[in-house]
């Protein structure tokens, strides 16, 4: 079974530019989550999709972040315009059941550096 | 506010030197406590789930225990391949997302 795939693995962009991160969940997993780890901080929840619907986006830091999951398959997270404080590692996770955290499978993350 | 605190932040052990990692939490109505292992450049990988005080889970050299306010991850006779960051997490009050601690980075030297 293929795992959760994220790309790019690394991205370096200048402040003010736009970046789009992509996550391909495990096939059949309706639940898709985005998390972020900023340097020196803990991993924090950003949002949760059930199929193509946003179930909970309470963790999104501001309106420069836009997440989509068209067709309920892969998801993208766009940052526009990027700021220095957006640097960090962005993780995606997927699961079959919404509350089965044991079934969470994380991707390897995208390391975003804004300079 | 729900919170997870892990200690120590970093731990260096010699091969075979047993120790414990701590995870303390403040959350209303615990719906489980999760331990993950994270290797450099990888995402967190599930290790254990504990649901009630007194519960214990074991996997190879690792044993996780849970009390009403904290959890311990005991590492017995560690090997260099146990070197990783160990993360503790609990579900938020809505049960829709995980709240993580900052983790403990373990280095085991031979």
Residue range A37-64, pLDDT digits in tens? 999 999 999 999 999 999 999 999 999 9
Q: Which of A43, A55, A107 sits opposite B96 (nearest CB)?
A: A55
Least Cα separation, residue B38 to chain A (angstroms): 10
Helices within A1-115 (DSSP H only): none
Distances (CA, A) of A4 to A34, A71, B67: 12, 17, 33
Question: Is the Cβ pair A91, B43 closer than 8 Å?
Answer: yes
**Digit-coded pLDDT (tens) for B77-87:** 999 999 999 99
Of B43, B102, B103, nearest to A107 by CB-CB distance is B43
Q: Which of A45, A98, A106 sits opposite B44 (nearest CB)?
A: A106
What is the band of A98 on the pLDDT scale with cuts at 50, 70, 90? Answer: confident
Pairing of strands B104-109, B10-14: parallel
**Chain B residue at shortest CA distance from A38:** B102
Alpha-carbon gap, residue B21 to B11, rounded angstroms: 9
β partners of residue A53:
A50
């Amino acid at each position: 079974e293929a795992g959760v795939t994220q790309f790019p693995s690394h991205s370096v962009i200048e402040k003010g530019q736009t970046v789009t991160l992509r996550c391909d969940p495990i096939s059949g997993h309706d639940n898709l989550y985005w998390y972020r780890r900023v340097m020196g901080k803990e991993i924090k929840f950003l949002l949760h999709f059930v199929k193509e619907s946003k179930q909970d986006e309470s963790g999104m830091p501001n309106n420069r972040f836009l997440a989509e999951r068209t067709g309920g398959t892969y998801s993208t997270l766009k940052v526009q315009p990027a700021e220095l404080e957006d640097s960090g590692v962005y993780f995606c996770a997927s699961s079959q059941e919404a509350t089965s955290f044991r079934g969470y499978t994380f991707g390897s993350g995208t390391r975003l550096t804004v300079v | 506010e729900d919170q997870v605190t892990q200690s120590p932040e970093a731990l260096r052990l010699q091969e075979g030197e047993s120790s414990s990692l701590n995870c303390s939490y403040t959350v209303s109505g615990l719906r489980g406590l999760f331990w993950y292992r994270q290797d450099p450049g990888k995402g967190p990988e599930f290790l254990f789930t504990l649901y009630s005080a007194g519960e214990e889970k074991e996997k190879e050299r690792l044993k996780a225990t849970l009390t009403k306010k904290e959890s311990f991850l005991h590492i017995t006779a560690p090997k260099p391949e146990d070197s990783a960051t160990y993360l503790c997490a609990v579900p938020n009050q809505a049960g829709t997302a995980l709240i993580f601690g900052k983790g403990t980075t373990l280095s085991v030297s031979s």
